[in-house]
Structure 1
Amino acid sequence: MRIAFLVNEVVTEVDEYTTTRLARAAAQLGHEVWYVGVGDAELDGDGQLGARAHGAELEQDDTLESFMERVKEGDGERIVMDDLDALFLRNESLEDIQDRPWASSMGVVLGQVLKARGVTVVNDPMSLVRATSKLYLEEFPERVRPRSLVTRDPEAIEKFVAEVGHSVVKPLYGAKGRNVFVIEDEDESNLAQMTEAVLQDGYAIVQQFVDGGEDGDARIFLLDGEILERDGKYAAFRRIPDGNDPRANISAGGHPVPLEIGDVERGIVDAMSKKLVADGMFFVGIDVIGDKVVEINAESPGGMQAVERLYEVDVCPAVIEAVERRTTAVTR
């Protein structure tokens, strides 16, 4: 299988992250692996979609660091992306929205072009445009999500908080815990400042606080609508916030601990599975507090380093093997 990982920029890739682990797994399984930045594609005069790509070859004694260093240091080589078997969209559009606004939507655009040309693209680029927004969560059954409001009206936010009390307000398009605020009640002295900060990023989503949220949340990886597992180990963990910081994101200082999957978690997945599969959300991470999903991470979900360290198992080969099966099914 010829598989490429589309990223923001090859030179900014981090060896510890999930994308590197997925690329390593693909190389371990004997596939031809490439990295392509969103700015490295080219539609030539003959209508071929090509790219200046960096090969990812795994050597016997490679660490993640040495593997990634060689990818970055290698000379770019032109490949024909039309000839790929699979493209994994791993760029984060929000990372580009300020400094490179032209690049923010290019991942899904390139994915749509290649999907139309017969390449297996994950996650589905047609649905990913919608799934990147936190508004996507509102399409799932009410029983698995907190009561919420999406608005740009500060007065509407005040009214919502007055009605439901303890709440969380954050940007509709946001990641890594940026501008996430916990509001105690309508008498919150800093409510206006919190709202102003969030609305600078566009729409706000306000969610009723879910009991237990002060103790962090759970990240659960789903593959083709099922909880991802390998060798009897589930790709899931609980994220504990650091000190008094309500954000449990690893990037915001939270730390992971093992998570036991029970009936509550399985019930949530059962309620979401059919729609995720229908929408082509092949590999996603859901963030769960209690019996509620507070976020769906469909664009470049991360955290595999925590899974590997907590359970001493690399689950990424299971993801690549599933891509193999999907690619084979498409080409039959």
Structure 2
Amino acid sequence: MRLAFFVNDVATEIDEYATTRLARAASQTGHEVWYIGVGDVELGESDGRLVARAHAADFHEGDTLESFMTAVKERDAERIVMDDLDALFLRNESIDDMQQRPWASPLGAVFGQMLKARGVTVVNDPMSLIRATSKLYLEEFPERIRPRSLVTRDPAAIEQFVSEVGRSVVKPLYGAKGRNVFMVDNEAEQNLAQITEAVLQDGYALVQEFVDGGEDGDARIFLLEGKLLERGGKAAAFRRVPNGKDPRANISKGGRSVPLEIGDVERGVIDAMGEKLVADGMFFVGIDLIGDKVVEINAESPGGMQSIERLYEIDVCLTVIEALERRVGSRA
């Protein structure tokens, strides 16, 4: 399989990223693997092909994540024809580019859609990713598995929602890694006006009712082709516990990961989501769950593989690559 990972910028990739683990797993199993940054693509002047200045990702015996990633960055870029790829794994985070490099933000979906039309297997589906990048995507799933919510740019509507619902979480509709995520107890919250102003600077606000148990963190569960991702009988899932008084359990905000046992509640939520995820081409996603409610779907570049590896001593990335092999084979 000739596989490329599409990222924001090869130079800024970090060895602990889930993308590094996926690329290493693919190279370990004998596939030809490349890294391509958002700014590394050209459209052929005469033949219309997409060409990339790509960095080879070759695994050598004894490579650590650090040495593997260092070698990728140090190799000279080579020109490859993207039309000739078997698969493209979209792992760029468009939200990261939205403010600093707005020109780069939509290009994963744009190039991905072009290559999909040319017969390349592209995951996740680029057109569905345009919707899934927004937290609005969660609203397309059954009401029983998601919290009551409001999407608006009207501060008065936010105040009204909080007065009716009570304890709520206010965050940007387009956001990631816990940035500008606030919890408010009621409409009398002293800083509600400042919170609303801060969130609306990023566009639309998403206001969700606070789900009981949220103060103890949330669960990150990985789904592959609409089903629980597992390897060796162990599930790719963990609980994220907040650190200190910060209610955000994001690992990037100091949260810590602990083991999670998948029970009937979690399986019921997965069953309610699976068919639609498959229909939308959502090959590999992470969901954040509190109790029986999904509070977020991570479809663009879900991370947390390091926690799975540390907690359970398994490499679920091999399972992801094996599933991608099957998908490419079925298309061929």
| Fold similarity call, TM over 0.5 | yes
1:35 aligns with 2:35: yes
3-state SS of paired residue (1:34): strand
2:120 alignment counterpart: 119
2:71 alignment counterpart: 70
1 CA distance for matches of 2:100 and 2:192? 29
2:152 alignment counterpart: 151
Aligned length: 331
Identity of aligned residues (%): 77
2:327 alignment counterpart: 326
2:95 alignment counterpart: 94
2:142 alignment counterpart: 141
2:15 alignment counterpart: 15
2 CA distance for matches of 1:30 and 1:191? 54
2:286 alignment counterpart: 285
Matches within 5 A, 1:234-249: 234-249=235-250
Deviation at 1:186, TM superposition (A): 1.3
Deviation at 1:105, TM superposition (A): 0.4
3-state SS of paired residue (1:102): coil
CA shift digits 1:226-280 (9 cap, x unpaired)? 0000011100000000100000000011000000000000000000000000000
- TM-score, normalising length: structure 1: 0.99
Deviation at 1:103, TM superposition (A): 0.3
2:61 alignment counterpart: 60
1:4 aligns with 2:11: no
1 CA distance for matches of 2:157 and 2:107? 34
RMSD after superposition: 0.4
Deviation at 1:94, TM superposition (A): 1.0
3-state SS of paired residue (1:275): helix
3-state SS of paired residue (1:103): coil
Matches within 5 A, 1:174-189: 174-189=175-190
1 CA distance for matches of 2:250 and 2:24? 24
1:230 alignment counterpart: 231
1:260 alignment counterpart: 261
3-state SS of paired residue (2:138): helix
Whichever residue aligns with residue 174 of structure 1, its letter is: G
2 CA distance for matches of 1:95 and 1:294? 20
- TM-score, normalising length: structure 2: 0.99
Whichever residue aligns with residue 173 of structure 1, its letter is: Y
3-state SS of paired residue (1:98): helix
Whichever residue aligns with residue 301 of structure 2, its letter is: S
Deviation at 1:82, TM superposition (A): 0.2
1:108 alignment counterpart: 109
3-state SS of paired residue (1:196): helix
3-state SS of paired residue (1:202): coil
1 CA distance for matches of 2:115 and 2:44? 14
3-state SS of paired residue (2:295): strand
CA shift digits 1:17-71 (9 cap, x unpaired)? 1000000000011000000001000111211111000000001010000000000
1 CA distance for matches of 2:150 and 2:101? 30
3-state SS of paired residue (2:6): strand
Moved more, 69-78 or 91-100: 91-100
Deviation at 1:97, TM superposition (A): 1.1
1 CA distance for matches of 2:11 and 2:85? 22
1 CA distance for matches of 2:293 and 2:100? 34
2 CA distance for matches of 1:69 and 1:288? 35
- Flag as ranges the 4+ runs of structure 1 deviating above 2 A: none
Whichever residue aligns with residue 171 of structure 2, its letter is: K
1:272 aligns with 2:273: yes
Whichever residue aligns with residue 266 of structure 2, its letter is: E
1 CA distance for matches of 2:43 and 2:293? 44
3-state SS of paired residue (2:128): helix
3-state SS of paired residue (1:19): helix
CA shift digits 1:202-222 (9 cap, x unpaired)? 000000000000000000000
2 CA distance for matches of 1:188 and 1:226? 40
Deviation at 1:98, TM superposition (A): 1.4
1 CA distance for matches of 2:137 and 2:74? 38
Whichever residue aligns with residue 8 of structure 1, its letter is: N
Deviation at 1:99, TM superposition (A): 1.5
2:132 alignment counterpart: 131
